[in-house]
Structure 1
């Protein structure tokens, strides 16, 4: 028995007439009658009673009709699922990110846009340090990761530069530079400060950006504390244990005891945002996600430039 035999039978049963079913199926009446008879011979039952003005179902025919509809619906669903998956419209994707990434408005925007555009793709999120994220990407426990840090060995990966974000100085609210609103601070004016930094194994990119920026300003920062998470960094600043340089988007946190100030001058440390995926990624859903991230980043960059201008 082939699926087409079930489709032919359902069409005849619903039309109540072989000629009408043949027109619906786009075929001639004699071949359709032959297919129905072949199905009856295979099952060794009478499915339809021929009448002068059509056909009617036997009890066996009624029993087969219910199951045939269910079987065909399941097959159609399987075919549709397969096609949607091949187009990247259905499936699942696991996305990782470092702790500073969710504060950038671009990231929740693109994730929300992807979920709205592809509601049948199950999307899960995971936060971790850069090294762990890259390891999980290589081992296929994650499908795409937002990172700040350059990847030392990018073999087998595609690293997509997305956006460059300026860094701000985070100060305890009792700091002299925090007293005047909208005061921009030269980086070299922080040479005597104690710095709180995001621990390098977890946040190599931000750590290196801070160190490189201070060196460019003519001094080596005195590091007093290293925190395991970017939020913990700001908590230490709030406690008065030092200052820190953080991506500008973190000022959205509005943490009690912390004041953010812009940096003044030509030395502006940058916190880059990148998306890493596997090279030759077979999943259409992952490829669609990466493409949407890239396109949205271009639009976001243009919007930011217009706003800044």
Structure 2
């Protein structure tokens, strides 16, 4: 039995009259009668008892009506969800976020507004540095990522710049420079020539490379202290007086005992890139909706 035949049967069963069912279906009565006979012939079952003023379901017909209504309802739900998925209103997205990105107000605001607009899209949040994110995008474990690296190169990968924010210096509260300055004062990068720098992530990640470039712009190569996998561990090392670290300005909202922040001055002030990366071949409409939401938040 074809799906359209099942719809014909349900209409006749609910109306109890072939002519009224034909009107409901927008067709002529003779073709509908022929379809009902074809259904009964194909099933080799009598579904209706013919009466002078209509039709009445047999026991077999009542059973088919129960099942038929359920089948048609499930098909309609499937079609409805399919259409909504095609429009990006239903689905799932894995969003990776660089460890320092959530502190900029654009990121949580974009995620929050996307969830409000598309509550049926399941969002999974992950955290990763640039090299980890690239691997996740390529193997399609991740759909889109907020990244701090503007120089991500991989086949099929696209990066949309969102903003650049100034980087600030995080140093121990007992550090001589911290004691000699106030929170409203700035520190020149040249003053940090002899300081060990803590790096967030390995070479090739955004903040690591930006720190190297900024120090070289100030006329020296930074002394490399320790490498920290995440921002919290980097600030923990700063509090322990193991070195200093350059972080995005939005990190000033992250308070940690023993750590203070100072603005950086000079012609080579470092800037932290923030963008979103995704595979160009990813045709997910939910992804397109997410990208559009992030772009609106940028303005």
Residue 244 (structure 1) aligned with residue 245 (structure 2): yes
Corresponding residue of 1:190 = 192
Shift of 1:198: 1.6
3-state DSSP class of the match of 2:242?
A: coil
Distance 2:249 2:152 in 1: 25
Distance 1:151 1:143 in 2: 19
What is the count of residue pairs matched by the alignment?
A: 297
Mean Cα deviation higher: 157-166 or 62-71: 157-166
Shift of 1:38: 1.7
Matches within 5 A, 1:10-21: 10-21=10-21
3-state DSSP class of the match of 2:70?
A: helix
Distance 2:125 2:83 in 1: 25
Distance 1:133 1:242 in 2: 27
CA shift digits 1:162-216 (9 cap, x unpaired): 1112111112122344452422323333334332222324x62111211221222
Shift of 1:46: 2.1
Unaligned runs of 5+ in 2: none
Corresponding residue of 2:36 = 36
Distance 2:222 2:132 in 1: 27
> Are the counterparts in 1 of residues 150 and 273 from structure 2 also a CA contact under 8 Å?
no
Corresponding residue of 1:218 = 219
Mean Cα deviation higher: 148-157 or 105-114: 148-157
Distance 2:79 2:201 in 1: 49
> Are the counterparts in 2 of residues 177 and 183 from structure 1 also a CA contact under 8 Å?
no
Shift of 1:141: 2.0
Corresponding residue of 1:108 = 108
Corresponding residue of 1:207 = 208
Distance 1:152 1:171 in 2: 29
Residue 279 (structure 1) aligned with residue 280 (structure 2): yes
> Are the counterparts in 2 of residues 281 and 287 from structure 1 also a CA contact under 8 Å?
no
3-state DSSP class of the match of 1:262?
A: strand
3-state DSSP class of the match of 2:261?
A: strand
Distance 2:98 2:259 in 1: 22
Distance 1:241 1:258 in 2: 12
Shift of 1:133: 1.5
Corresponding residue of 1:305 = none
Distance 1:119 1:232 in 2: 34
Corresponding residue of 2:22 = 22
> Are the counterparts in 1 of residues 199 and 245 from structure 2 also a CA contact under 8 Å?
yes
Distance 1:126 1:95 in 2: 6
Distance 2:266 2:74 in 1: 65
Distance 1:90 1:163 in 2: 29
Give the TM-score, by structure 1 length: 0.87
Mean Cα deviation higher: 1-10 or 43-52: 43-52
Give the TM-score, by structure 2 length: 0.90
Distance 2:178 2:21 in 1: 81
Residue 229 (structure 1) aligned with residue 230 (structure 2): yes
Distance 1:52 1:166 in 2: 86
Tell me the C-alpha RMSD between the 2 structures.
Answer: 2.1
Shift of 1:65: 0.4
> Are the counterparts in 1 of residues 95 and 143 from structure 2 also a CA contact under 8 Å?
yes
3-state DSSP class of the match of 1:93?
A: strand
Corresponding residue of 1:67 = 67
Distance 1:11 1:152 in 2: 59
3-state DSSP class of the match of 1:240?
A: coil
Shift of 1:119: 2.3
Shift in CA distance, 94/233, structure 1 to aligned 2, threshold 3 Å:
same
